[in-house]
Structure 1
Amino acid sequence: MEPTGQNLPQGNQTTLIGFILLGFSDVPDLQGFLFGVFLIIYVIILMGNSLIIIIINVDPSLRNPMYYFLGNFSSLEICYVSVIVPRMLIDLCTQNRNISFLACATQMYFFLVLGATECFILTVMAYDRYIAICNPLLYPLIMNSRMCIQLAAGCWVTGIPVHIGFTYQIFSLPFCGSHQLNHFFCDVPPVLQLACGDTFMAEMLIYVVAVLVVTIPFMLIFGSYVKIISTIMKLPSVTGRAKAFSTCSSHLMVVALFFGSGIISYLRPKSSHSTGMDKFLSLFYTIVTPVFNPMIYCLRNKDVMVALKKFLSKWIVL
């Protein structure tokens, strides 16, 4: 009889066939409820971001750099949650929590690449607002269509080579002892906890990548908004100040939600890690933030609301 995933021999774990994602197995009575909640959230994320993409493409008034990057951001959010949520729903529904070694590495890789892309796109969106508010006369020259395409392409591809090496480094480690992954997806900290031997290099790489991908973009965004707020406060018109703040407030809220949870999760000391807190923070930046993003950008942006009403009125009439 084949040994099950629960009682594999403790010897050579470098040839693991996979891990067991424990997920939310510690609350067995809530499996059906959690499945329903996460399914509804996933559908909302898909519909909300798809609607934003459609509106931006069909409404001529939204064909400018700010909404071009917002369209990219919404496309990214769909990809980002689709790396994690469908697998989590399958686990909750079937209770088959086994994930192959290759599938785990693939999920981690795409999660890291898309997470890095999100950091970069949020930075580019801040740069776009900085040029629009601080250098309005040069805005059409600087943020031309070619520059927008180059910036967006750079955001999508920059993280690819970095995270190939990073993921390879993590999964090159020997894994011994338990192969039960106490998480709902293959995130870096819980996978690293199962590794044996010297993990110092991998842990240092986490901090290096986190600084390059999270901290530096966050500081660039922070610096941009210091300049933006300083410029806005100098505007003579109260109406002008209010309009300028309104175009930035939604982006600032998304940045605070995403970067706040990401920095706390990856840059806090290893000694302060706990399974419950790790799962909570992961839920926050993988599911909660993406579900709020379409609402934030729609409800707090007058141009998007006007375009949405026009779009819905056409469909209602049809």
Structure 2
Amino acid sequence: MPNNAVTASARLSVAPMMDWTDRHCRYLHRLMSRHTLLYTEMVTAPAIVHGDRDRLLGFNVAEQPVALQLGGSDPAQLAEAARIAEGYGYAEINLNCGCPSDRVQSGSFGAILMESPALVANCVAAMMDAVRVPVTVKCRIGVDDQDPHVVLPDFLAQVSAAGVDRFSIHARKAWLQGLSPKENRDIPPLDYDLVMQMKGLFPHLHLAVNGGIATLDAAEAFLERGLDGVMIGRAAYHTPADILLDADARIFGDPTGRTAEEVVHLMLPYIADHLAQGGRLGQVTRHMLGLFQGRPGARGWRRHLSENAHADGAGPAVVLAALDHVTRLAA
């Protein structure tokens, strides 16, 4: 995919989320929006270099544009992982400088890299030497006792000097001491104004804001204020219809769209293929539970899938029976 096409898609993206944005989730989201940039769960560079690459990197070409998020801090290893991933067809390689989990800290990557912008610059330079697709960075505004007004512009300056021109900024600090990863998603205060200030300081960079954004109205407001992109996480997962079904028309100017019911029917061949390969229905439908959130019948839809998707032999008929809870009330 041409670099400019990926950048255009980055106007709206679904954040990388561990245990959530797997290949089944991304296929569902792609049926809902043709243009939104989708991200994988974070995959560590050592896992790619030494592990089961097809399991870690395989994806359906229909998911494109899709970006791989890498975790790591060794330039040579990240470069090798990026090279391997490019061979699988990813449109972008993103370096994680924002995850606050203990496991990530122990590996000296994730949010702790906010303390080492020179190392991040070396990492992305090595990655860019290894691949032709864009290399991007997702970061925080700082960690622990750092002053974000000092740390963030210095981080952006050093890493962009190495060649990165696209950043997604989670507008919260990460507290590596004293807060759990879950608490780090909510407790540190959001500082959207600081992200806006960065756009003023670095007008040549493509800057997207992330963190606490739950509606398309909010996304449009950030774009109108001059940011280049908006990355939405949990809202895109829990209420995907509210975010993704209107995204193409409102964010990308493409009026063609689908209904949630149409998306369910389009998922059925994908589900059948997954089952034929030995998969289980619940591996796919767990990502579909929020599809009708806020609509009559949504509770029946969720309950039917939750109670029946994991049964032996469960297949597309279970999904259609769940959908009946919605369509009966819509008639």
Q: TM-score, normalised by structure 2?
A: 0.24
Bigger share in helix = 1
Of structures 1 and 2, the larger Rg is shown by 1
Which structure has the higher relative contact order (CA within 8 Å, separation 6+)?
A: 1
